[in-house]
């Protein structure tokens, strides 16, 4: 007896509404779906929520794609591509968007990685939740074929939410997917997606207003650019990009910067990063942790090549941002690079912190 093989597809799932709808549209056609979610190191997800004091009554943060997969009843492959992703961020062939977001290169890279996983796991095609014209770089009509070509997946990347507005793909031509049951969404409006979500009974999805990548954030990009400028090269470690998400960053001089914890949870996080490296002479080189002795206040990390005067200035900043800011003198502990000492300093007055120090 002849059996019909069930068609299967591997999708890129961000956990946002669009990718969830793309999954549902294919599931409605009897296609077996699994998804992949890539970790680049710049995913916003709930990192800030995990580092800061929780809002009263707020639920703990969550990974949107994981919860979307649970809701959709599909398997999710979570893949760490952060190390390989460095070259996409530091040397994007197609350049950056408004900030340090290499959206075209990123999309090409992710699609090619998804294709490789599709080949490894034996799926029939890949798909995304892209909507034509929704994003300025990677979802422009003229860029869609280009992404497929460069990723080496020409004709095999289905975009169920805007399929009827673009050329039919192989899965449609072969009759695996009914093109008539796909959508022709375009533009930045969200109404058609929200209507479709209601039709599918999907109610628990993240707010569409939230971005998914720190590289599209002006403040984050400025801090990353500062890091590159003062290191003299476009390079970063995984720890660098995590630290750029935490604290208030100030650069009083080209040779050093400080990161000031903004609440107790963030102080704890920064202390953990510093503490985790205590035994690692290389990673811990060029980093000091400062905090006021016997007074509530921030943990302050100093990074770079500060002079002794710079460290004193950092102590004064530590005092400035703590509860002892109005005291005549504050004792500040310095720890790092094989030294432990306490300096007594005068808190830096607010009007002696130039606005240009803030990154």
Residues in the site for another protein, rule: CB under 8 A?
37, 39, 43, 45-47, 49-51, 54, 59-63, 65-67, 69-70, 74-76, 78-80, 242, 265, 268-269, 272-273, 276
Distance between CA atoms of 324 and 265, rounded to whole angstroms? 20
Comparing CB distances to another protein, the nearer of 21 and 43 is 43
Of 246, 274, 269, the closest CA to residue 359 belongs to 246
Comparing CB distances to another protein, the nearer of 153 and 213 is 213
Least separation in angstroms between residue 267's CB and another protein is 11
Residue for token pair 């953990």: 272
* Both structure tokens of 329: 């003198």
CA distances from 223 to 219, 258, 304, 332, 359 (A): 6, 12, 14, 26, 6
Of 3, 4, 5, 22, the closest CA to residue 13 belongs to 22
Least separation in angstroms between residue 79's CB and another protein is 8
Of 45, 37, 50, 49, the closest CA to residue 81 belongs to 37
Distance between CA atoms of 45 and 61, rounded to whole angstroms? 8
Comparing CB distances to another protein, the nearer of 287 and 316 is 287
């Amino acid at each position: 007896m002849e059996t019909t093989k069930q068609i299967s597809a591997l999708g890129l799932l961000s956990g946002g509404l669009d990718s969830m709808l793309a999954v549902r549209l294919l599931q409605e056609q009897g296609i077996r779906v699994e998804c992949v979610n890539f970790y680049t190191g710049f995913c916003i997800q709930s990192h800030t929520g995990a580092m800061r004091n929780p809002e009263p009554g707020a639920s703990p943060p969550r990974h949107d794609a994981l919860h979307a997969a649970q809701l959709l009843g599909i398997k999710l492959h979570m893949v760490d591509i952060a190390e390989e992703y460095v070259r996409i961020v530091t040397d994007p062939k197609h350049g950056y968007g408004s900030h340090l977001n290499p959206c075209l290169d990123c999309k090409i890279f992710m699609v090619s990685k998804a294709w490789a996983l599709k080949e490894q796991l034996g799926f029939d095609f890949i798909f995304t939740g892209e909507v034509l014209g929704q994003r300025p770089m990677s979802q422009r009509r003229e860029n869609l074929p280009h992404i497929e070509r460069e990723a080496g997946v020409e004709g095999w990347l289905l975009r169920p939410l805007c399929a009827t507005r673009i050329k039919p793909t192989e899965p449609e031509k072969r009759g695996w997917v009914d093109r008539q049951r796909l959508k022709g969404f375009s533009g930045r409006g969200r109404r058609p997606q929200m209507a479709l979500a209601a039709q599918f009974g999907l109610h628990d999805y993240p707010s569409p207003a939230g971005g998914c990548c720190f590289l599209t954030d002006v403040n984050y990009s400025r801090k990353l650019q500062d890091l590159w400028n003062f290191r003299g090269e476009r390079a970063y470690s995984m720890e660098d990009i995590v630290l750029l998400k935490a604290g208030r960053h100030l650069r009083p001089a080209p040779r050093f910067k400080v990161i000031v914890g903004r609440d107790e949870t963030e102080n704890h996080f920064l202390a953990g990063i510093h503490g985790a490296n205590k035994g690692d002479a290389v990673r811990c080189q060029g980093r000091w942790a400062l905090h006021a002795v016997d007074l509530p206040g921030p943990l302050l990390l100093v990074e770079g090549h500060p002079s002794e005067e710079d460290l004193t200035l950092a102590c004064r900043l530590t005092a400035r941002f703590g509860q002892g800011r109005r005291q005549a003198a504050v004792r500040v502990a310095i720890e790092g690079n094989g030294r432990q000492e306490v300096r007594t300093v005068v808190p830096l007055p607010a009007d002696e912190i130039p606005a240009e120090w803030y990154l």
